[in-house]
Structure 1
Amino acid sequence: MGDTGTYDARTIRPSALRGAADGGRRAPAGRRAKPRWYLPAVLGADAAVTAASVALVLDRAGQPHPLGTAAVATATWIAVRAFRRRYRTGELGESRGALPVLHDWLILVAVLAVLAVATARTPEPYPALVALLPGLVGAVVCQRRLHRHLTAARRAAEAVDRVLVVGGPGALESAVQRLASRTDHPYAVVGTVLAGSGGALPGDGALPGGTAGAEWLGPELDGRVAGYRLVNAARRHRAELVLLAPGGCLTGDRLRELCWALHDAGLEVALTPGLVETSVKRLTASSVAGLTVLRVEPPLGDGAQAALKSAVDRCGAALGLLLLAPLLFLLALLIRLDSPGPALYRQRRVGRDQETFTMWKFRSMVPDADSRKGDLAPRNESDGLMFKMRRDPRVTRVGRFLRRTSLDELPQLFNVLRGDMSLVGPRPPLPEEVAEYDATALRRLRVKPGMTGLWQVSGRSDLSWDETVQLDLHYVDNWSFSSDLDVMSRTLRAVVDGRGAY
């Protein structure tokens, strides 16, 4: 088994693999290595916020037994969260979404309502709901802070699972490359085993990131011998999990025999079916004639969720225009005073199913910006089809502020109200960009473009072209109404942060 080299995004360095034997730093352990303060921090936040808010609100509202009610509410909240497995080590810090916490909170409200009726001590509903709301907010805030801390730790290869990847040529390379390209997951590759008929690895005999030739697990080996070798390889690398990438000789009975050997040795086993960027919500496992089958549901396109999205878009845009009317007028006035030209800028963009529409924005550049774009083409900082320039000389003084705060996008509420755009979706491209799209990039146009999207909450202009396309494709293939709510909740932080806005 060759040493695992340095991967692009995350690695366990060879010195870490040797650990204390040669005086190097200790090799990271798996999820058990999460900071011990995670659990008391979450439990403490859930208990303290709920107890304090219920006691104070009910006392101010003149409700009976505020302290006793606070104790019952706190105990019930912790019990609901524990029943939903929110305090398990494997769950702490893994999610940043607000919907699971909202589900827990709704269960809490229902349980407390039943208890109130059963004990004939029903508090007034409005003070009770107000008293419970801080518990929901506190849990969401704590969860997101924990997620950010865990993400930062994993960038340094901490609090991760030490993973041995096993697969045939092609499947092994693809799995290792995928794991090495990102750091927002708990898998750190510490070794590889190539399952095949012998020979050499494709290319120069190295896996992506510099992993030199791996140990072979040939099909001629007896199942028990192959399992024994695999267990020994996992122990040499102190792997906690073995990731199997089927293909070649890793099929059917051989996979089952390897799983037997690994499980008997106390190792965890995971299997990657080769699907990429597919949400687990679209997968359903079943057994057919002894075969384990994964059914992949098609992306949501129509139905109740699509109708709800359309209703929220139109109502949200109308309400936004009504509430923001004074701000829109003030911004238009500032633009006119800062530089000559109209306050609004319109441009042809490509929407759903390649239909063009006129998109509106506040003007952030000089009036002749389009005619000067060709002169600036050599200074384009984008690696793809879009034009990006961090210090674009065409941007006005007010325009820099508008772009930094994303206020230049507000007139697109008119496009959302008309139905050309959505509140959440891929970035609306220019016709000349679409003319250069390949079949993969064209799939971005299967949905309406949005005012915000995964591209905005993930770095905006700092993203490469490939990263932008992958984020948009992930949105198109795995869209749900709950994912839109998550993006909208993360947009405010992205706008305040301003990262990648230029």
Structure 2
Amino acid sequence: MLDVRSGEAVRHIPQQRDRRATWSIARLRGEGTQARRAWRSKYVRRLYGVDALAAVVAGAVGQLVEVGPVGKSWSTELSPAWAILVLPVLWLVAMVTARAYEERFLWVGSEEFRRVFFAAAMLLATLGTLSWAFRVEVARGFVIVALPLAAALTLGHRLAQRELLHRRRARGEFQQTAIVVGHRGGVADLHDQLQRQTKHGYRVIGCCVPQRKDDPVATFHGLPVLGSLDDVVDVVEQYEVDTVAVLPSPELDGAALRRLGWDLEKTEAELLLAPAVTEVAGPRVRIRPVAGLPLMHLERPEFKGHRRFLKNAFDRTAAFFGILLISPVLIGLAVAVKLSSRGPVFYKHERIGRGGETFHVWKFRSMVPDADKIVDQLFEQSNEGNDVQFKMKRDPRVTPIGAFMRRYSLDELPQLFNVLGGTMSLVGPRPHVTREVEQYGYDMARRLLVKPGITGLWQVSGRSDLSWDESVRIDVRYVENWTLTFDLMILWKTFGAVLRGSGAY
């Protein structure tokens, strides 16, 4: 293997290597950290421009909508173009103050969207305070229409741009190179995780692991072993690595990590420290000084309290209005089920909910009557799901109208009544039957701490194509890290997953 810049032999990598291990390094020829990060500034500039355009549109709509201002107001003192000209400036100032353009908050996670909400609330509060302090009436159309619309348009275009970025990253674009440093077991797990989550844009080109001088290893887990734990800085400089992900290991204690951080300051590489605790999202992790040391605190997951009350209120309100909105669809599907085959319109089945309590989930019947009586026989002969859950891509029990409904998850719509009744949530782990719950391990039992949901991470991450271990990881991740913003993101992604119909059978 040759150095991608100088052409000199790399002492850590023997000449004999399989093609999979050398492919990612070969693609680095002619690239550099600055070139790989050039797209970031363009992305941020585009956010500035489209955010300002969203505010212009919102200001124009706010002037067109008559909300009925009473008394003296800015809109009557100044020309109608005032909001169109001033709102973009105020909106960008609020967004900058809320730090909504910092790269560390963009591209993944919900922090970017929380900061947009914070900017809107801060701007509204500032205008209200100034209006009260100086006794100036603010036009109601500006407050009631323009500001919420600016926030909504900003959120919409940022979601669209993020989705486009994730798709391009899945195709191998906008990637940053990374090496994983640590012991072999942790390296393999983190590499698998980064490969599954292509939206984060990390392309792992190799690893640094403890090596014995009498038994050097050329590759591990499909990755080139670029050096030992002592060679990290040399490897970064040699390959112009963008990111170094360090896993917990006895060799890299506090002093060694501090020296590594100092040495990496001379390069352009970012240093990431992977905690020993997995599946814990950023909102629950806080770095707090204790006795002069920056210690990582893990906040307790919230299973009760005001946030849970807000989630329940949102679920039931959204379910109520959702039923009213799609009532013609519900009636049409009910008629189609009744006319297409004999049997009841609805299928009621016992599932296990929060706290292990049983409840009945409602669905449109998509199978022939008494289909559940032969599920054990089919599980042994024709199961195409995972080791615990039964699934068949071409289940003979499914009716023609049932196949259509299952492909687009229309048979799940009656579960809105479960949400309205309080036994389910809009977003959460899918409800399992007793036979599946009896096979839960310790990790999977965590899912019983929350209400099951109509949709969830399972719905937007592959659905029935997932293995049982992947389903466990996804469900635990949701239970440990749920927020109302996270729920809204899952609901948004559910529409795309349903339209694609991937993993639905």
What interval of TM-score do these two structures reach, taking the shorter chain for normalisation? Answer: 0.7 to 0.9
Work out which of the residue numbers 50, 65, 71 in structure 1 matches 2:85.
71
Is 1:124 aligned to 2:152, yes or no?
no
Q: Give the aligned residue type for 1:163.
A: A
Q: Counterparts of 2:58 and 2:444 in 1: how far apart (Å)?
A: 49
Is 1:368 aligned to 2:409, yes or no?
no
Q: Give the aligned residue type for 2:46.
A: A
- Decide whether the 8 Å contact of 2:429 with 2:452 is kept in 1: yes
Q: Which residue of 1 aligns with 2:69?
A: none
Work out which of the residue numbers 434, 437, 441 in structure 2 matches 1:434.
437
Q: Which residue of 1 aligns with 2:234?
A: 232
Q: Percent identity?
A: 36
- Per mean C-alpha deviation after superposition, the further-off stretch among 332-341 and 129-138 is 129-138
Q: Counterparts of 1:190 and 1:471 in 2: how far apart (Å)?
A: 26
Q: CA deviation at 1:309?
A: 2.2
Is 1:216 aligned to 2:228, yes or no?
yes
Q: Which residue of 2 aligns with 1:331?
A: 333
- Decide whether the 8 Å contact of 2:386 with 2:466 is kept in 1: no
Q: Give the aligned residue type for 2:58.
A: S
1:492 partner SS? helix
Q: Give the aligned residue type for 2:463.
A: R
Q: Which residue of 1 aligns with 2:312?
A: 310
Deviations 1:319-346 (A, max 9, x none): 4445555543332222111110011111
Q: Counterparts of 2:195 and 2:183 in 1: how far apart (Å)?
A: 18
Q: CA deviation at 1:474?
A: 0.6
- Decide whether the 8 Å contact of 1:168 with 1:196 is kept in 2: no
1:49 partner SS? helix
Deviations 1:114-144 (A, max 9, x none): 5556776534314542133332222112111
Q: CA deviation at 1:362?
A: 1.0
- Decide whether the 8 Å contact of 1:166 with 1:195 is kept in 2: no
Is 1:355 aligned to 2:370, yes or no?
no
Relative to 1, partners in 2 of residues 1:320 and 1:260: Cα closer, same or farther, differing over 3 Å? closer
Q: Equivalent residues in 2 for 1:192-211 (5 A)?
A: 192-195=207-210, 200=215, 206-208=219-221, 210-211=222-223
Q: Counterparts of 2:397 and 2:172 in 1: how far apart (Å)?
A: 42
Work out which of the residue numbers 16, 19, 25 in structure 2 matches 1:14.
25
Q: Which residue of 1 aligns with 2:348?
A: 346
Q: Which residue of 2 aligns with 1:221?
A: none
Work out which of the residue numbers 251, 256, 260 in structure 1 matches 2:262.
260
Deviations 1:344-390 (A, max 9, x none): 11112111232222222110111132234345443322133112222
Work out which of the residue numbers 389, 401, 407 in structure 1 matches 2:410.
407
Work out which of the residue numbers 46, 51, 57 in structure 2 matches 1:46.
51
2:348 partner SS? strand
Work out which of the residue numbers 176, 183, 202 in structure 2 matches 1:187.
202
Q: Counterparts of 1:30 and 1:455 in 2: how far apart (Å)?
A: 36
Q: Counterparts of 1:94 and 1:30 in 2: how far apart (Å)?
A: 21
Q: Give the aligned residue type for 1:438.
A: G
Q: Give the aligned residue type for 2:80.
A: P
- Decide whether the 8 Å contact of 2:100 with 2:115 is kept in 1: no
- Decide whether the 8 Å contact of 1:51 with 1:70 is kept in 2: yes
Q: Which residue of 2 aligns with 1:280?
A: 282
Q: Counterparts of 2:323 and 2:191 in 1: how far apart (Å)?
A: 48
2:27 partner SS? helix
Q: Give the aligned residue type for 2:26.
A: S
Q: CA deviation at 1:77?
A: 0.8
Q: CA deviation at 1:236?
A: 0.9
Relative to 1, partners in 2 of residues 1:79 and 1:199: Cα closer, same or farther, differing over 3 Å? farther
Give the number of aligned pairs: 481
Q: Counterparts of 2:199 and 2:467 in 1: how far apart (Å)?
A: 18
Q: Which residue of 2 aligns with 1:153?
A: 168
Structure 1 length normalisation: TM-score? Answer: 0.85
Q: Counterparts of 1:423 and 1:407 in 2: how far apart (Å)?
A: 15
- Per mean C-alpha deviation after superposition, the further-off stretch among 68-77 and 109-118 is 109-118
- Decide whether the 8 Å contact of 1:30 with 1:160 is kept in 2: no
Is 1:32 aligned to 2:37, yes or no?
yes
Relative to 1, partners in 2 of residues 1:419 and 1:100: Cα closer, same or farther, differing over 3 Å? same
Work out which of the residue numbers 2, 14, 18 in structure 1 matches 2:13.
2
Q: Equivalent residues in 2 for 1:98-113 (5 A)?
A: 98-113=113-128
Give RMSD over aligned pairs: 3.0
Q: Equivalent residues in 2 for 1:287-302 (5 A)?
A: 287-302=289-304
Q: Which residue of 2 aligns with 1:58?
A: 63
Relative to 1, partners in 2 of residues 1:445 and 1:182: Cα closer, same or farther, differing over 3 Å? same
Q: Counterparts of 2:494 and 2:481 in 1: how far apart (Å)?
A: 19
Q: CA deviation at 1:420?
A: 2.3
- Decide whether the 8 Å contact of 2:181 with 2:246 is kept in 1: yes
Q: Give the aligned residue type for 1:13.
A: S
Q: Counterparts of 2:455 and 2:358 in 1: how far apart (Å)?
A: 19
Q: Counterparts of 2:292 and 2:210 in 1: how far apart (Å)?
A: 24
Q: Counterparts of 2:433 and 2:197 in 1: how far apart (Å)?
A: 29
Q: CA deviation at 1:271?
A: 1.4
Relative to 1, partners in 2 of residues 1:348 and 1:252: Cα closer, same or farther, differing over 3 Å? same
Q: Counterparts of 2:388 and 2:37 in 1: how far apart (Å)?
A: 44
Relative to 1, partners in 2 of residues 1:56 and 1:361: Cα closer, same or farther, differing over 3 Å? closer
Q: Give the aligned residue type for 1:136.
A: A
Q: Which residue of 1 aligns with 2:6?
A: none
- Decide whether the 8 Å contact of 2:187 with 2:247 is kept in 1: yes
Q: CA deviation at 1:168?
A: 3.4
Deviations 1:398-421 (A, max 9, x none): 212322332211222332333322
1:284 partner SS? strand
Q: Counterparts of 2:180 and 2:236 in 1: how far apart (Å)?
A: 9
Q: CA deviation at 1:473?
A: 0.8
Q: Counterparts of 2:474 and 2:370 in 1: how far apart (Å)?
A: 32
Q: Give the aligned residue type for 2:81.
A: L
Q: Counterparts of 1:260 and 1:35 in 2: how far apart (Å)?
A: 25
